[in-house]
Amino acid sequence: MAKLSIQSARKSYGEIPVLQDVSIDVEEGAFVVLLGPSGCGKSTLLHAIAGLHPIDSGRILIGDNDVTRLAARDRDVAMVFQSYALYPTMTVADNIGFPLKMRGTNKVEARRQVDEVARLLQIEPLLARYPRELSGGQRQRVAIGRALVRDPKLFLFDEPLSNLDAALRTDLRAEIKRLHQTIRRTMVYVTHDQIEAMTLATKIVIMSKGVVQQAGTPAEIYHEPVNLFVARFIGSPAMTLLKGRIEPLTSGCGFRIANGDGNALSDAIQLPNSDALRALQGRELLAGARPENVDISASSAAGPTAVVDLVEPTGPEDIVTLKIGGQTSIVRRPAGAVSQGQTVRVHLPADKLMLFDPTSGQRLL
């Protein structure tokens, strides 16, 4: 087990930068997920940690050792790929034990370690089979077993579940989480799937265009996004974002949502009176709130008016699309609470509201 430190890493392919001054610290025993859209640089960063794609500048430290210029074989890391990368002519036992064979481990000790890993992953009945006789989920368990038996300082996962169907992804995701809780080894995991990130990680690093946008716990990333990219990328449905302005009210400040023609709606969202809010008065801003924090009511006398544009049943709750002054908001409501075409009032709790600069994307409050 080892900590990992990436310091000011840069990498370009020709004139195209793919990593731009990336710095990340990973504590011993942490499960860190690199999350972002395709092309954001997350897999390039993982391959750089593994030594497969050397960085142009910066440093990579595993434990106290600077491995920046070390070959991949000398870094003591194990990597699990999305393609499994199993040897088709070897049995499961031989695939798992191959790293031990290359290390010169005697056969008795190697078999003991293979059996131990197979018990941990619950694949003992598969040891005599060949990869062609396995399902996708079983093949990925074997690939994880081959990484485990190496007993490396660092485990790296490159979208290991992307080739599996939804049910298998759910099952194997839970197994990977239990595995980490059992062995408590440092793991770095790449995915574009936010559900994987939120359920697996002790720390999430969100990337876009080769830049780290935010790093934090899943709760911090979800409830305290630092910019519009993170706010929009995390959450399903996505965060409600409404254009408007901060204006003074008789008791404090209010956020008035902009109408489709650029004018403000008559009803403002009440906000507390503070120096920070007064400093933002008159500026065009984006107000954001998570779907579960937006309340709608047919009977409330306060709050902006909205029309229910669409209701999508999902079982215990509905995903409701609202039209508010020409803008769109998506909220979660109990099943059957509202119907399409209904006029409602919208309430955004001040303590759950976030304010963003629409130009820079930075969170202001």
**What CATH number should be reported for the domain holding residue 42?**
3.40.50.300
* CA distances from residue 89 to 68, 86, 128, 129, 320 in whole angstroms, order as listed: 35, 9, 12, 10, 53
The mean per-residue pLDDT over the stretch 129-153 comes to: 95
Q: Which residue carries 């999305």 as its tokens?
A: 82
User: Given 233, 257, 277, which residue is the final one in a domain?
Assistant: 233
Domain count of the fold of the chain? 2
Cα 180 to chain centroid distance, Å, stands at 17
Q: Are residues 201 and 53 in the same domain?
A: yes
Closest C-alpha to 97, from 85, 107, 88, 84? 107
**Which residues have C-beta within 8 Å of that of residue 185, sequence separation ≥ 6?**
1, 29, 154, 155
> In which band, very low, low, confident or very high, does the pLDDT at 62 lie, cut at 50, 70 and 90?
very high
Q: Is residue 297 very low, low, confident or very high in pLDDT (cuts 50, 70, 90)? A: confident
Residues 225 and 311 in one domain: no
Cβ atoms of 231 and 239 within 8 Å: the answer is: yes
**Residues 50 and 146 reside in one and the same domain:** yes
Predicted pLDDT of residue 210? 98
Q: Long-range contacts of range 95-103, CB-CB < 8 Å, 24 or more positions apart?
A: 95/131, 95/142, 95/145, 95/146, 96/127, 96/142, 96/145, 96/146, 96/149, 97/149, 98/146, 99/146, 99/149, 99/150, 100/149, 100/150
Domain-located, residue 79: yes
Residue % of the chain over a pLDDT of 70: 97
| pLDDT score recorded for residue 288 | 96
Say which residues have a Cβ less than 8 Å from residue 151's Cβ, sequence separation at least 6: none
- The domain of 54 spans 4-233
**DSSP secondary-structure letter at 338?**
S
Q: In this structure, are 293 and 148 located in the same domain? A: no
The tens digit of pLDDT for each residue in 233-255 reads 999 999 999 999 998 887 778 88
Q: Give residue 71's pLDDT band: very low, low, confident or very high (50, 70, 90).
A: very high
The stretch 214-223 carries a mean pLDDT of 98
My answer on whether 143 and 249 are in the same domain is no
pLDDT > 80? residue 132: yes
Highest mean pLDDT, choosing among 200-214, 287-301, 342-356:
200-214
Query: Is residue 173 domain-resident?
Result: yes
For 251-277, the pLDDT digits (tens) are 778 888 887 665 666 677 878 888 888
140 CB-near residues (< 8 Å, 6+ apart): 80, 84, 160, 161, 163, 164, 172
Q: Which residues does 92 contact at the CB level (< 8 Å), separation at least 6?
A: 118, 123, 126, 127, 128, 129, 130, 131, 134, 142
Domain assignment present for 315: yes
CA dist 83 and 181 (Å) reads: 25
Residue 301 has pLDDT above 70, yes or no: no
Distant-in-sequence, close-in-space partners of 184: CB < 8 Å, separation ≥ 6: 1, 29
User: Of 174, 200, 233, which marks where a domain is finished?
Assistant: 233
> Do 93 and 210 have their domain in common?
yes
> Quick count: other Cβ atoms within 10 Å of Cβ 223?
14
Q: Give the pLDDT band (50/70/90) at residue 303.
A: confident
CATH of the domain at 298: 2.40.50.140
Find the mean pLDDT for residues 120-133.
96
Q: In what order do the strands lie in the sheet with 317-324?
A: 295-297, 343-347, 305-313, 317-324, 327-334
**Which range, of 185-189, 199-203, 294-298, averages the lowest pLDDT?**
294-298
Q: What is the pLDDT of residue 267?
A: 73
One domain for residues 187 and 333: no
User: Considering the domain boundaries, does residue 167 fall inside one?
Assistant: yes
Based on the fold, state whether residues 42 and 140 are members of the same structural domain. yes
Q: Residue 299: is its pLDDT beyond 90?
A: no
Domain annotation covers residue 362: no
User: What is the value of pTM for the model shown?
Assistant: 0.93
d(Cα 254, Cα 84) in Å, to the nearest integer? 55
Tell me what pLDDT residue 335 has. Answer: 95
Which pLDDT tens digit goes with each residue over 12-45?
Answer: 999 999 999 999 999 999 999 999 999 999 999 9
Contact between 96 and 145 (Cβ < 8 Å): yes
The pLDDT assigned to 248 comes to 86
pLDDT for position 304: 85
What was the pLDDT predicted at 64? 93
Within a domain: residue 361? no
- Regarding whether 291 and 203 lie in a shared domain, the answer is no
Highest mean pLDDT out of 78-82, 136-140, 211-215, 239-243: 211-215
Is residue 303 situated within a structural domain? yes
Helices 166-183, 136-149: crossing angle, 10 deg rounding: 20
Look at 53-62, 216-225, 247-256, 307-316 and tell me which has the smallest mean pLDDT. 247-256
For residues 266 and 325, membership in a common domain is answered with yes
Residues 162, 268 within the same domain = no
Rounded to the nearest integer, the mean pLDDT of the chain is 93
Residue where a domain terminates, one of 209, 233, 257: 233
Residue 82 placed within a domain: yes
| Same domain, residue pair 247 and 198 | no
